[in-house]
Chain A
Amino acid sequence: GENVEQHPSTLSVQEGDSAVIKCTYSDSASNYFPWYKQELGKRPQLIIDIRSNVGEKKDQRIAVTLNKTAKHFSLHITETQPEDSAVYFCAAVYTNAGKSTFGDGTTLTVKP
């Protein structure tokens, strides 16, 4: 089955700095890669996603890059703000099977 590794497990940055979280996946059949933000005790919220036919996608301060050959994808947050502090999860999805495999999460702390 699919295996997703996410790094780092914790990340602390100063407000205004950039944050990068990386994920690798093992199954080349995975073709959809969403990123979720989860605040303590709340549901995961989709923040950005990318499909396997795209190499990069950007939405304001958030961007995701995908390297299919190397089987890794990354989340980039620029100009971080304290409200960006949360746990971020990546996922790899093989849409034909409809099953998502999640990374272990990254706890991001943005210090004011």
Chain B
Amino acid sequence: GAVVSQHPSRVICKSGTSVKIECRSLDFQATTMFWYRQFPKKSLMLMATSNEGSKATYEQGVEKDKFLINHASLTLSTLTVTSAHPEDSSFYICSATRVGGMDSPLHFGNGTRLTVT
């Protein structure tokens, strides 16, 4: 149980285009999903907290107009990287907690390797 699916696993796009990444909880409802960015050999950097039915909460230094987050249902959150640039190339990973389960471990998606050329 507690499977989080993230899609796509890898994407290459041209500079200036937008890329959408989906994060789905497959067998549980997730009121809260988190989006992280991870640089090579570095830790997970929280970008934003996504709550179903409300606006995402962004961490300091993360541009909300650049990284659009939508949490339309209890099982789906999307991250759209708008007008991507080479410096946006990174490993993006989502995680989710169960409804009412803030003290439950995070369940991570497989991550998306974004390369902007």
CA A43 – CA B9 in complex, angstroms? 11
A34 contacts which of B46, B49, B102, B106 (Cβ < 8 Å)? B106
B97 touches A43 (CB 8 A): no
Residue of A nearest to B45 (CB): A102
> Given A43-B109, A46-B105, are A99 and B49 also a contact pair (CB < 8 Å)?
yes
Interface string of A71-104 (1 = CB under 8 A from B): 0000000000000000101010101111111111
Contacts of A18 in B (CB 8 A): none
CA A19 – CA B109 in complex, angstroms? 27
Contacts of B93 in A (CB 8 A): 43-44
Main secondary structure of the interface of A (DSSP, over half): strand
Interface: B82 (CB within 8 A): no
Residue of A nearest to B107 (CB): A46
Contacts of A43 in B (CB 8 A): 93, 108-111
Residue of B nearest to A97 (CB): B102
Contacts of B105 in A (CB 8 A): 34, 46, 49
Q: Report how many residues on chain A are interfacial, defined by Cβ distance under 8 Å.
A: 27
A104 contacts which of B32, B43, B49, B111 (Cβ < 8 Å)? B43
> Given A42-B111, A43-B110, A44-B108, are A98 and B43 also a contact pair (CB < 8 Å)?
no
CA A34 – CA B43 in complex, angstroms? 15
Least distance between B8 CB and chain A CB atoms (Å): 14
Interface of B toward A, CB cutoff 8 Å: 32, 34, 41-44, 46, 49, 91, 93, 97, 102-103, 105-106, 108-111, 113
Interface of A toward B, CB cutoff 8 Å: 31-32, 34, 41-46, 49, 51, 87, 89, 91, 93, 95-105, 107
